[in-house]
Structures are given as C-alpha cells and as structure tokens.
Amino acid sequence: MPDAFTAPGRFFRGNLHTHSTRSDGALNPAEVCRRYADEGYDFLALTDHFLGRYGYPLVDTRPFRRPGFMTLPGAELHAGAMANGELWHILAVGLPDDFAPPHAPDFRPLPGQEDGPALAARAAAAGAFVAIAHPQWSGLTQADAASMGAAHAVEVYNHGCANGADRGDGLHTADLLLSQGRRLSFCATDDAHFTEPDHFGGWVMVKAEENGPEALIAALRAGRHYASQGPEFRAIAAGARTVEVACTAVRSVIVQGQGSAAVAVHGLSMTRASVPLARLEGSPWLRVTLIDAAGRRAWSNPVWRAAAGGWA
C-alpha cells in the first residue's frame, strides 16, 4: 500500500476534533465552520459529545461547506468506564447518520453500559476513522489503550488539553502500543470549544485525490496522513542505514524507535536531513519528529520493518 508521500493526490489540512453549542462548545456550528474555513483549513470534523444530555448529536454540517472547504460527519463517543472509573472518550470521524447511540445519558458511566472497545468497534465497522482521544488527559492506562482493538489512531497531541490542563500528550501511549505490535497511526487535534486558547494549534495533513468525505476518510483509515503543529513533511525514505527526510525549515529531525532508541540531527533552517539508523537496529518500527525554530512539532506515522529486513 502506498504511504502518504507516494500515494497520488495532495495534502489537505484539517481538524478532526471540534465542539459547538450542540454539546459543550461556545459557538454554533455555522460559526465554528466559518472560523476554520477563514483560517485556511481545507476540512473540519465537528465532533460534538454523543451523549443523551445533548440529544446524541450527529450535526449536519453540509450547509457550511464552501469551495475549498469540506466538512466531515463525526462525534466524540462515550461509553462504559475506563480503569480510573471515568467515561471513555473516543473520536469517530465518518459516522453514518443512522449510527445507533449507546446508552450514555451523561458524562458519568453507568453499570451495564456498552464498553469503550465495543463502541469503537461498532464505529469502525460503520466506516468511521476511530482514534483514542487525549490519553494523558483521560488518565488512560496502558491496559485501557491496549483494549481498544478497533482504533485506527492515537491522538498524539490535543491542543485543548495541552492549554487547558497541560495534558495534551499521547505519544507515550502510542509508542507502547507500537511496541506491542499495534499498527496505529497518529493524529493531532484541537479539541476546540472556543472557551480558551484551544483552536488552530494541532491538525492532520491528509493525502487524498480530492477534498471530499469519502476520499479523506479512506485516506485517514489507510494511514495516509501525518500530524502537525506547523512543520510540514515533504518526504520520508527509510533505507538500510539511514532515514532521508525532506521538510519545511526546522531545527531538529528526530527518528524514534522501540524503547529508548532515538537519533537526532540538529541545525539551522534544515529542509533535508540524513539520520543514521544504527541505534534503531533492533526496532520493528520507526517514526520521525520535526521541531521548528518556534518549538512547534510534526509527527510522522510509524514506518514498519518488513519481513525481508527493509522498511515497508
């Protein structure tokens, strides 16, 4: 399967996690969409909390599309209880209009509810792109994360959780899942409510042949995307001894692998880097992080070692 850099099409910038007055956001759906469109985003998923207290909203944002700006259907799903006793938060983009709600009347879990892994599996089977939302903010245990077998991705950065709680990270959870053999992708999101500086800070760049719902969701599910706060990848080519990276101007290019394996190359306004792989000799996977002069990051999806010893 081609990766994001070899597949046909172009990259589209979008936010996958957003809230409006249909749940606990401050702005109505039309205004949320207007702001993202005017900010230059190519697409947006409005993902209001799928709870009984809000009428289980799957908000129809099709009236707010415009040339060059697409909207995707979705919701933040909730069910059951995690190990800490709190409700699951599951991001689902591409849900059909008739997706059956769980019994989730409010933010408190109830005995006998559908559990998070089962709800995620139903969403994925219905065609949605499913991500484990804000693992650090949720207090997700690694056992919780491992139970989410239907997830396509992990939110490795959540801008709202970073600014509102200083708990925006998901990379630790993602790295441990990768080391358990889970072939997951990464997404960065805003989780915007427009009640604090929680917008326009984390996004996905999705490679697709057109800026339409079917093409974007298919590309997300296939892993043809990367996550960013600003820097952009141009290409990643993993060879036997080095990883060759092309990107917008950055000060650091870091290649990470299983356990403590990591190698960094630093410089001024680098747009290319050749990173040696000796430290990753035993790792079954690698990923690449970019850091620009302002400290903003971008994260590639994992690249897996092929059976023949090269990289798939």
Read off the pLDDT of residues 246-301 as tens digits, 9 standing for 90 and up: 999 999 999 999 999 999 999 999 999 999 999 999 999 999 999 999 999 999 99
Residue 104: its pLDDT value, please? 97
Question: 154 versus 2: which is more confidently predicted?
Answer: 154
Q: What is the pLDDT of residues 174-196, one digit of tens each?
A: 999 999 999 999 999 999 999 99
CA distance 237 to 240: 10
CA distance 155 to 115: 20
At residue 20, does pLDDT exceed 80?
yes
Q: What is the pLDDT of residues 94-116, one digit of tens each?
A: 999 999 999 999 999 999 999 99
Residue 308: its pLDDT value, please? 66
At residue 1, does pLDDT exceed 60?
no
Rg of the chain over all Cα atoms, to the nearest angstrom: 19
Residues, the chain, total? 312
CA distance 286 to 271: 20
At residue 145, does pLDDT exceed 80?
yes
Contact 232, 225 (CB under 8 A): no
Count of CB atoms situated within 10 Å of the CB of 24:
15
At residue 130, does pLDDT exceed 80?
yes
Residue 2: its pLDDT value, please? 61
> Is 233-304 in the same CATH topology as 10-228?
no
Q: Whole-number mean pLDDT of the chain?
A: 97
Of 25, 158, 26, 36, the C-alpha closest to 91 is 158
CA distance 137 to 89: 10
CA distance 295 to 292: 5
* Domain 233-304 bears CATH identifier 2.60.40.10: yes
Map residue 118 onto helix, strand or coil: helix
Report domain extents, the chain. 10-228, 233-304
Q: Left, alpha or beta for 86 (phi > 0: left; psi -120 to 50: alpha)?
A: beta
Q: What is the pLDDT of residues 59-88, one digit of tens each?
A: 999 999 999 999 999 999 999 999 999 999
In the structure encoding, which two tokens stand for residue 207, read together?
Answer: 């490679």
Residue 312: its pLDDT value, please? 74
Among 3.20.20.100, 3.20.20.140, 3.40.190.10, 3.30.230.10, name the CATH number for the domain at 10-228: 3.20.20.140
In the structure encoding, which two tokens stand for residue 255, read together?
Answer: 């290649």
| 101 Cα distance to chain centroid | 23
Q: E strand or H helix at 116, and its extent? A: helix 116-125
Contact 74, 102 (CB under 8 A): no
CA distance 204 to 229: 9
